[in-house]
Amino acid sequence: MEPGKQSEITKLAVVGGSGLFDFDGLQVIGQHRVETPYGKPSAPVLEGEVEGVRMLFLSRHGEGRHLPPHAINYRANIAALQQLGASHIVTINIVGGITSTMGPGVWVIPDQIIDYSWGREHSYSDGTGDVTRHVDFSDPYDRELSEKLLQAAHAVGLEPVVGGTYGCTQGPRLESSAEIQRLRQDGCDLVGMTAMPEAALARELELPYAGFCLVVNWAAGISERMISIEEMQRVVSSNMPPALVVMAKLLA
Ligand code: HPA
């Protein structure tokens, strides 16, 4: 969405990462098996209700969470949501914290991205069409939607950190301590593996896109302790349930 352009959320699509679909507050009404010019999305797109509010849901890692971040068909995912009439996309990401205010259990609404991923199909302009689109990406996350997301989070009693730079790494391994030091020097506050090329593809399709990030661990070398996958899972399980209610409040 261009800066300054106001837009009503007519159909919200939520793209979720690990953990989200364990939440049983979602009442599934239907499933859409979508084909796009870029192939199939990660999973059937669910149409469901949370607290009586209807939305689309897409599990980024697929049913059974089999897709690692570099193997996700981001182009098909975003195109499928557009085909189903999504007007806005909010993504729920699990991330590692780099900046001291962004420790495990903290929600963050980031406003910037640095992309360290590679080898992913990252644009709809792939040389097969007539035109190459150079979209503006100064603000990777839609400001108006991020502001609405903040209000919705407040309505549920959450106090997310506002603003922050998401460094998107390739995965699926976590980073080395030296890589995190480099990200920190570059200005990254958070590290995750899935915001890109998702955010850029949404921009190419002119779909306003915002991120709701849950910090589940200190990034490598930030804390003296080893990163424990069990601990990360615990933070996800205890913090994820309100996230879908926040999505419902976006439309309330
Ligand atoms: N690095 C990258 N992605 C992540 C991390 C991390 O430390 N934690 C959760 N997702």
Return the pLDDT at 77.
98
Q: What is the mean pLDDT of residues 37-43?
A: 95
Q: How far is the CA of 198 from the centre of ligand 1 (A)?
A: 17
Return the pLDDT at 132.
86
Q: What is the mean pLDDT of residues 144-167?
A: 97
Query: How high is the mean pLDDT of the chain?
Result: 92
Q: Does the C-beta of 174 come closer than 6 Å to ligand 1? A: yes
Q: For 163-208, how does the pLDDT look when each residue is reduced to its tens digit (9 = 90+)?
A: 999 999 999 999 999 999 999 999 999 999 999 999 999 999 999 9
Q: 70, exposed or middle or buried, with CB in 10 Å at 0-12, 13-18, 19+?
A: middle
Q: Which domains does the chain have, with CATH numbers?
A: 12-122+145-250 (3.40.50.1580)
Q: Does the C-beta of 194 come closer than 6 Å to ligand 1? A: no
Q: How far is the CA of 115 from the centre of ligand 1 (A)?
A: 14
Q: What is the pTM of this model?
A: 0.94
Assign 136 a pLDDT band (cuts: 50, 70, 90).
Answer: very high
Task: With H, G, I as helix, E, B as strand and everything else as coil, classify residue 165.
Answer: strand
Phi first, then psi, for residue 181 (nearest 5°) are -60, -40
Kindly write down the DSSP assignment for every residue of 121-149, as one continuous string. Answer: ---S-SSSSS-------SSSS-HHHHHHH
Q: How far is the CA of 68 from the centre of ligand 1 (A)?
A: 13
Q: Does the C-beta of 95 come closer than 6 Å to ligand 1? A: yes
Q: Does the C-beta of 96 come closer than 6 Å to ligand 1? A: yes
Residue 48 in this model has a pLDDT that exceeds 60? yes
For ligand 1, pick from 191, 196, 233 the residue to mutate: most ligand atoms within 8 Å of CB. 191
User: What is the rounded (10 degree) CA torsion for 4, 144, 205, 214?
Assistant: 150
Whether 164 contacts 108, CB under 8 Å: yes
Assign 135 a pLDDT band (cuts: 50, 70, 90).
Answer: very high
